[in-house]
Amino acid sequence: MREAEHLVHKYLRSSKRFPHIWCSGCGIGIFMQALVRVIDQSEYSKDDIVLISGIGCSGRLPVYVDFNTLHTTHGRALTFATGIKLANPRLKVITVMGDGDAVAIGGNHFIHAARRNVEIASFILNNNVYGMTGGQSSPTTPHGAITASAPYGNIEPDFDICRLAEAAGAVLVARSTVYHTRLLERLIGMALKKKGFSVLEVVSQCTTYTGRFLQLNSPVEMLKWQKDNAITVEKAKQLSDTELEGKIVIGVLVNRERPNYHEQYQSLLGKKSKV
């Protein structure tokens, strides 16, 4: 019946049932499509790619796509990714994590993966909430927000994932929203090409829970919120901290070179201790 096939369909597992499990208007699907579009235009074959996730809504992404896919434990996607990349450096290793996944329960793994600089393209879908378990506060939930686990308002400050990644040593740090799809694709492309640990924070919308505590009542309103509050890195440089309050700075935040773990390990191969 279809005359032109959706590009994404070429990468979906035909044995999986659709529509997928995510709620109406969820940003994960938008990210997934962007990822697949970029991979389609890349030199990688389906066999080359290992797509790894943790637990949560984002954790359900890999099962839908026809790569080598791995749905790991909560927060630990990067540890599996590290083992895979070092055991077979030919593979293109990609992780998809959520905000709670990557920087709460997986925070330790995240900072050390960044420090170690294993070549992993890591994408963090930040929807500011634990969606799968019913809308509890995450490390990126805004201060004051009312959530299932902060019924009187969140008294914790929120994490800036990108600044954390930068401080920990990631060689590419970038941010986009799912609204800015073309930027999103460009940044995914950069992350996949980077020969080290790259972090792309993807500001996404949980239309079921985050929308409620931000008083944004539909996916459309949430995307408008992303559109209206996003500001490019270049513009942000001209603004004061107060002016940047509540803004989403998008674009490439850090792009630097540093020897990756694998390159350095290669120089050890063949070494034999006399001990």
Task: Enumerate residues 13-72 that contact another protein by CB under 8 A.
Answer: 13, 15-16, 18-20, 22-30, 33-34, 37-38, 40-41, 46-48, 50, 52, 60, 62-63, 66-72
For another protein, the closer CB: 247 or 262: 262
Residue 173 as a binder of another protein (CB under 8 A): the answer is no
195-224 residues in contact with another protein (CB under 8 A) are: 207, 218-220, 223-224
Residue 82 as a binder of another protein (CB under 8 A): the answer is yes
Residue 228 as a binder of another protein (CB under 8 A): the answer is no
231-260 residues in contact with another protein (CB under 8 A) are: none
Residue 263 as a binder of another protein (CB under 8 A): the answer is no
For another protein, the closer CB: 150 or 173: 173
Task: Measure the CA–CA gap between 260 and 107, rounded to whole angstroms.
Answer: 20
CB 183 within 8 A of CB 176: yes
140-169 residues in contact with another protein (CB under 8 A) are: none
**Interacting residues of 267 by C-beta distance below 8 A, sequence separation 6+:** none
For another protein, the closer CB: 150 or 187: 187
51 three-class SS: strand
Site size for another protein, by CB under 8 A? 89
**What are residue 173's phi and psi, to 5 degrees?**
-130, 125
Q: Smallest distance, Å, CB 146 to another protein? A: 24
Q: Supply the DSSP symbol for 46.
A: G
Q: Which two tokens stand for residue 110?
A: 């995240």
Cβ–Cβ contacts within 10 Å for residue 101, how many?
A: 32
192 three-class SS: helix
Q: Smallest distance, Å, CB 157 to another protein? A: 24
**Sign of CA pseudo-dihedral 28, 33, 34, 39:** positive
Cβ–Cβ contacts within 10 Å for residue 18, how many?
A: 10
- Figure out which of the listed residues 129, 165, 192, 202 binds another protein, where binding follows CB under 8 A: 192
Residue 73 as a binder of another protein (CB under 8 A): the answer is yes
Residue 88 as a binder of another protein (CB under 8 A): the answer is yes
Residue 264 as a binder of another protein (CB under 8 A): the answer is no
- Figure out which of the listed residues 144, 153, 163, 193 binds another protein, where binding follows CB under 8 A: 193
Task: Measure the CA–CA gap between 206 and 28, rounded to whole angstroms.
Answer: 9
Task: Measure the CA–CA gap between 85 and 67, rounded to whole angstroms.
Answer: 15
CB 266 within 8 A of CB 247: no
For another protein, the closer CB: 150 or 175: 175
